[in-house]
Amino acid sequence: MAATIRDIKEQTGLSLATISKYLNGGNVLPENRVKIEAAIKELHYEVNEIARGLVTNRTRTVGVLVYSVESIFIGTLLRHISNSLRKAGYGLMICDSGDDPGIEAENVSFLLNKKVDGIIVIPVSIKTDSLEMARKAKVPVVLLDRPSQDAEFDCVRIDNRRAAYQAVKFLLENGHEKIGVICSHTEYTGKERYMGYKEALEEAGCALRDEYCAAGTHSIEFGFEGMSRLLSLEDRPTAVFMTNYEVALGAVMALNKTRIHCPEDISLMGFDDLIMSHVIHPRLHMVVQPMKEMGEKAVELLLQRIGSREEQMAMEIVMGTRISEGDSVARVEG
């Protein structure tokens, strides 16, 4: 039979009120805390989180709403978020929006009905109408990776435009002027990274050639299609900037189906230093996001909001990136 709070009372000699106060997160005398924790361990007592939630109006659960669990980028962020929440004594409930704003709105409603204490959102788009119901319910929300266009929410992200600018500038500094790009024209991150690509070329006085821009979606399929298109050009680029991990994976697959070699025939710069760059040859140059820090900061900010429950100005935390050098960029001599 499972241990009860009365078993802890008999074990410690403390009152039910003191034990209940401890179990519900209240402050008790240090010596009483030691007695209660020892009894919980010895008796294998398990806290009834549902009952405690009714008392404290907290479930110690955070909802994490993502645009697609298929993404390796998302999976990596989820691991860091989960680790941080566990250390803080919170569980998480993951909802996949399947890149569909309608499903995203349904998921927000679902999480609110589950009485989560807060929500971390890696949104489908930068239009965040679906999150207004969370605001009305006074449930804290922190956006991760993508900001909001139409409302003020806390957000943790990188400077995508600056990251892309630095990547393309690196290629320019290695003598490349004919630089192609494979990007998304639908996602916020893709649009911002294209603008960084464009800014770097314009600053260097290089012409923007329409045929060097393969714009579609951030997916393996489009990475393959986009690279195939660039490689088929009679005057093909000497370097290609791939603006997303899935895009880079598809692009490398397309390159492997040809007799064109990297970096001898074409140089490559990718985004997100995940598993691929460590297992393919040559190792890719990559723009690296501080994913662990991003996940931890999103959790830290959300728990601060949960703890205060007071109206505060929305905070945007913008983190920097770096370039991890591999062997995929050759120097072009003028």
**pLDDT for the residue 52:** 55
Q: Are 167 and 145 in contact (CB under 8 A)?
A: no
**pLDDT for the residue 57:** 60
Residues of the chain with pLDDT under 70: 1, 25, 47-57, 277, 309, 334
For residues 73 and 174, give the distance between their C-alpha atoms in angstroms, rounded to a whole number. 28
**pLDDT for the residue 276:** 75
In 3D, which of 82, 63, 79, 61 has the Cα closest to residue 71? 79
Q: Are 148 and 304 in contact (CB under 8 A)?
A: no
CATH of domain 5-56: 1.10.260
Residue 254 makes CB contacts below 8 A (sequence gap 6+) with 223, 224, 225, 227, 228, 231
**pLDDT for the residue 49:** 57
Residue 136 makes CB contacts below 8 A (sequence gap 6+) with none
160-289 has the same fold as 61-158+291-320: yes
**pLDDT for the residue 80:** 97
Residue 156 makes CB contacts below 8 A (sequence gap 6+) with 142, 143, 144, 145, 294, 297, 298, 301, 316, 317, 319
Tens digit of each residue's pLDDT (9 = 90 or more) over 149-177: 887 899 999 999 999 999 999 999 999 99
**pLDDT for the residue 43:** 80
CATH of domain 160-289: 3.40.50.2300
Phi (first) and psi of residue 70, to 5 degrees = -70, -25
Q: Helix/strand/coil (H, E, C) string of the chain?
A: CCCCHHHHHHHHCCCHHHHHHHHCCCCCCHHHHHHHHHHHHHHCCCCCHHHHHHHHCCCCEEEEEECCCCCHHHHHHHHHHHHHHHHCCCEEEEEECCCCHHHHHHHHHHHHHCCCCEEEEECCCCCCHHHHHHHHCCCCEEEECCCCCCCCCEEEEECHHHHHHHHHHHHHHCCCCCEEEEEECCCHHHHHHHHHHHHHHHHCCCCCCHHHEEEECCCHHHHHHHHHHHHCCCCCCCEEEECCHHHHHHHHHHHHCCCCCCCCCCEEEEECCCCHHHHCCCCCEEEECCHHHHHHHHHHHHHHHHHHCCCCCCCEEEECCEEECCCCCCCCCC
Tens digit of each residue's pLDDT (9 = 90 or more) over 21-42: 787 767 788 888 888 888 888 8
CA atoms within 13 A on the CB side of 195: 10
Phi (first) and psi of residue 324, to 5 degrees = -90, 115
Burial pattern 256-265, b for ≥16 Cβ within 10 A else e, equals eeeeeebbee
**pLDDT for the residue 172:** 98
Q: Give helix 291-308 / helix 72-87 axis angle, nearest 10°.
A: 50
Q: Where are the domains of the chain?
A: 5-56, 61-158+291-320, 160-289
For residues 127 and 132, give the distance between their C-alpha atoms in angstroms, rounded to a whole number. 11
**pLDDT for the residue 327:** 94
**pLDDT for the residue 47:** 65
In 3D, which of 143, 141, 88, 153 has the Cα closest to residue 116? 141
**pLDDT for the residue 51:** 53
Instruction: Give the architecture (CATH level 2) of 61-158+291-320.
Output: 3-Layer(aba) Sandwich (3.40)
**pLDDT for the residue 278:** 73
**pLDDT for the residue 334:** 65
